[in-house]
Structure 1
Amino acid sequence: MWAIALLVFREVLEAALIVSVVAAATRGVRQRGLFIGGGIALGVVGAALVAWSADWLAAAVSGAGQEVFNAGVLLAAVLMIGWHVVWMSSHGRELSRQMQAMGSAVKAGASSMVMLLAVVALAVLREGSEIVLFLFGMRAGGADHLWAGLSVGVVAGAALGYALYAGLLRIPLRHFFSATNAMLVLLAAGLASTAARYLIQANIVPALGYRLWDSSWLLANGSLPGQAAHVLVGYDAQPAGMQMLFFAATLLLLWSGARWARGHAGAAVAKRALPDGLGQPAQ
């Protein structure tokens, strides 16, 4: 039972950490619970469908179906998180002012919330499909106490995810959106790095060096802190060169996009503040 609980715990923790960051990043947004709950439900349903089609996936990509599927899910999540980061960079100050004035009456862009719903669904989909496949395998092997191990793992993983969420809510409001946006950028970069690892395993991209360094002596990938660092900031004790390339490229692209969005939003605000006619070019 405890082996099952440990594996389920690690998978649930990965999804729970992502959901916690998303939940914190949408603090005060009306109906965010509906979006996040809907994303979790979609992910669970999708995980069951993926598990049932595992043989087809493996045959479709010459035995590397699970790796290709995981990489595709992660890269899709990176794109959606990136879109939200850029959107929040241009609207964060406005949302902060609205939150201070109206609390839970904040209205975020519907398209941004749909993107984050998809991120939650993809996180649950990826980790849930791995849990279902593992449990099917354990059941076929005659393992006992599957439901007990599953329950312990889910509760423990969800509890740690909630602890992170509660900690994020303690950030002062004036710094809140900047802090959560930075966490989303690191989360996206870490997901991109993990996607690169799956693509290397599937022999789709070159490794560019299989082990740039080994910091397992300091923080092992399999440890609880290592697992949390892997999800939140993309930590890998033995990264390949392609993983670092994906990580750095994602950081650079999202940082550049967020900076452009902030500048564009600031220019628009300044232009609206000018008296009529002063913002028009001379004839």
Structure 2
Amino acid sequence: MLGALIIVFREVIEAGLIVGIVLAVTRGVPRRGSYVAVGVAAGVLGACLLAVFAGELSNALEGVGQEVFNASVLIVATVMLGWHNIWMARHGREMAAELRGVGQEVAKGGKDLTALAIVVAVAVLREGSEVVLFLYGVAASGKETVGSMLAGGAGGLALGAGLSALMFYGLVKIPAKALFGVTTGLITFLAAGMAAQSVVYLQQAGLVNAWSRTVWNTSAILPDDSIVGRMLHVLFGYVDRPSGMQLAVYLVALIGIFLATRAAAPKPLQPRPTQA
């Protein structure tokens, strides 16, 4: 539930900021709300179609190398989660500036309102598509039921939409840097946990045999199928009996995504020295 909630919350917040920027820039433009609504609906519909396609593919491959399929989903989700953090760190400001530019052109009459709907639809589709892929990764990790994922997704959607609305109307002020910093950290741990879980499936399929010895056993103190254990597994990738390969992959993914995200973030501009 927590994994689905965090992922959906983050994506909804990003989509909410996009919609908020467009609405703020085009304030006073007649019918701009209708076009933005159409764009949001089109993006959500596209994401739903992707979910149906992914579900059909999963059903078609069920029982045919299921461990390999699950491991592949987790590996792809790990790469996408890491790339998402890196891309947003590098291009988040540029994307916001481009959206403002489109909104200003529409407000000035330089572009038709259809451009507004297209921009919003593409943005929402991108975020929705990432949600679909990431939730398949959460499902493949084997620690969350469909019911808990739906509950977590609904909670993330409600929290994200509510917070986006409050921020848009100025009722709450949360620095975007702090908000995305926390969620970026959580997603980094989620991705590392998924990478480690993919090793379990590959070991079960007999494709990975190196470093298979258990590093520690804390099942008597904190089993990973307990309530607290499940929470720690989803949030930080905790496993009560990890193999050496699981631990190695977890650390490599965690450190790699962290360093890459940090390196991709634009450096603050240094003030020029004043001439005497």
TM over 0.5: yes
Give the whole-Å Cα distance in 1 for the aligned partners of 2:187 and 2:138: 19
Question: Which segments of 5 or more consecutive residues in structure 2 lack a partner in the other structure?
Answer: 20-38, 104-115, 164-171
**How big is the shift at 1:160?**
3.8
Match of 2:79 in 1: 79
Residues 211 and 87 of structure 1, relative CA distance in 2, 3 Å threshold: same
Match of 2:132 in 1: 121
**Count of residues paired in the alignment:** 224
**How big is the shift at 1:72?**
0.8
Match of 2:69 in 1: 69
Letter of the 1:245 partner, please give it.
A
**How big is the shift at 1:231?**
2.4
Residues 166 and 230 of structure 1, relative CA distance in 2, 3 Å threshold: farther
Residues 202 and 34 of structure 1, relative CA distance in 2, 3 Å threshold: farther
Match of 2:27 in 1: none
Give the whole-Å Cα distance in 1 for the aligned partners of 2:193 and 2:79: 13
Give the whole-Å Cα distance in 1 for the aligned partners of 2:42 and 2:218: 41
Deviations 1:153-188 (Å, cap 9, x if unpaired)? 755543344446667859933411111111121111
RMSD: 4.2
Match of 1:89 in 2: 89
Match of 1:42 in 2: 50
Q: Would you say the 8 A contact 1:47–1:128 is kept in 2?
A: no
**How big is the shift at 1:68?**
0.6
SS of 1:235 mapped into structure 2: coil
**How big is the shift at 1:203?**
1.6
Match of 1:29 in 2: 18
Give the whole-Å Cα distance in 2 for the aligned partners of 1:84 and 1:230: 21
Q: Does 1:236 align with 2:239?
A: yes
Match of 2:267 in 1: 266
Letter of the 1:19 partner, please give it.
V
**How big is the shift at 1:243?**
0.9
**% of aligned pairs identical?**
30
Q: Would you say the 8 A contact 1:96–1:177 is kept in 2?
A: no
Residues 227 and 166 of structure 1, relative CA distance in 2, 3 Å threshold: farther
Q: Would you say the 8 A contact 1:17–1:164 is kept in 2?
A: yes
**Correspondence for 2:150 among 134, 144, 158:** 158
**How big is the shift at 1:36?**
6.1
**How big is the shift at 1:224?**
3.4
Residues 70 and 165 of structure 1, relative CA distance in 2, 3 Å threshold: same
Q: Would you say the 8 A contact 2:7–2:156 is kept in 1?
A: no
Give the whole-Å Cα distance in 1 for the aligned partners of 2:243 and 2:84: 28
Give the whole-Å Cα distance in 2 for the aligned partners of 1:157 and 1:45: 19
SS of 1:210 mapped into structure 2: coil
TM-score under structure 2 length normalisation: 0.63
**How big is the shift at 1:117?**
4.1
TM-score under structure 1 length normalisation: 0.61
**How big is the shift at 1:126?**
5.5
Q: Does 1:19 align with 2:27?
A: no
